[in-house]
Amino acid sequence: MKRILSLALCLLPLVALAQPARPVFNFPQPDLLFNLWPDGAPTDNGLTGEEKDYGNHVSNVTKPTLALFLPEKPNGLAILVCPGGGYVDVWDKTEGYANSKWFTDQGIVYAVLKYRLPNGHYEVPLDDVHEAMRILKAHAAEFGFTQLGIAGCSAGGHLAATAATHFTKPEERPDFQILFYPVISLDPAITHAGSAHFLLGDEPSQALRAKYCNEKQVTADTPPAFIMANSDDTVVPCENSLLYYQALRGHGVPAALHIYPTGGHGWADHLNFAYRDAWMADLKIWLSELAAAK
């Protein structure tokens, strides 16, 4: 569904983000692009200078946006995607735009969040998630969905799991969560050290580190989850996914866990990933059951 809507200051022209002298990539283009905070964000990540858009990922993110891909026939589901990047980049094209058609072909409203990087200001990315959810929910009837889930890859998986476990208001709670090879724990024994550093800064307190160990924040109200990881992932060990799954099950939260034997890390958009057909088939069934239950 290609539509041109008048959304005043909320909508950025797509050409505004074009920058010269960068590699050309053939990623799908969104139907709509929102400026997340047209009047200025309530929090600051302390980063200065211009964003650097490399065509497949962005660094030094200070101007968050929400890119929407709209289905021809909405099925009632929407997904807000948080791409990975170790909390120092946002791979918005490879772990966001690249799979958009697969989701919209199923009738799912697919939204990719280019969130501000924390730079040690751990509250900043979650502020962006909550604002993106508010924008999406304000257009729910227009876009044709009643359930809004959160998804994320790697450090973006940590952000998605944070959104699923740290909400304080009903409107901040996702209806479901989908996690690709996620960082879950900030326990130094199994975490991705770079993600932990860029999220919490130097020498965080034990209490702060524990707060963002998302396996410790699960409750019975945490939304249902679909989790994917690989046994041979040396960047983010699959123990992160195992701990989260066990915590969800321990609190009676419906959860699916798929751990594949090989494939390493960062495979969400990889056409040659040996288990691509498998994860897509399993996730499609899981999503169709959610849609049917709406």
Model pLDDT for residues 198-248, shown as the tens digit of each residue: 999 999 999 999 999 999 999 999 999 999 999 999 999 999 999 999 999
* Rounded Cα–Cα distance for residues 182 and 82 (Å): 11
Pair 248, 218: CB distance under 8 Å? yes
Q: Tokens 């960068």, residue?
A: 22
For residue 132 the two structure tokens come to 């993106």
- Bridging pattern class, strands 145-153 and 177-180: parallel
Q: What is the pLDDT of residue 9?
A: 36
Q: What is the pLDDT of residue 140?
A: 97
Pair 174, 227: CB distance under 8 Å? no
Q: Phi first, then psi: what are they for 139, rounded to 5°?
A: -110, 15
Q: What is the pLDDT of residue 78?
A: 98
* Rounded Cα–Cα distance for residues 71 and 1 (Å): 6
Domains of the chain by residue range: 8-292
Query: Low-confidence residues of the chain, pLDDT below 70?
Result: 1-24, 294
**Which option is the CATH number for 8-292: 3.40.50.1820, 3.40.50.2020, 3.10.290.10, 2.40.30.20?**
3.40.50.1820
* Rounded Cα–Cα distance for residues 192 and 233 (Å): 11
Q: Tokens 């791409």, residue?
A: 83
Q: What is the pLDDT of residue 182?
A: 98
Q: What is the pLDDT of residue 23?
A: 62
Q: Tokens 């990047």, residue?
A: 85
Query: What number of CA atoms fall less than 13 Å from residue 32's CA on the CB side?
Result: 25
Q: What is the pLDDT of residue 3?
A: 46
CB atoms within 10 A of CB 55: 12
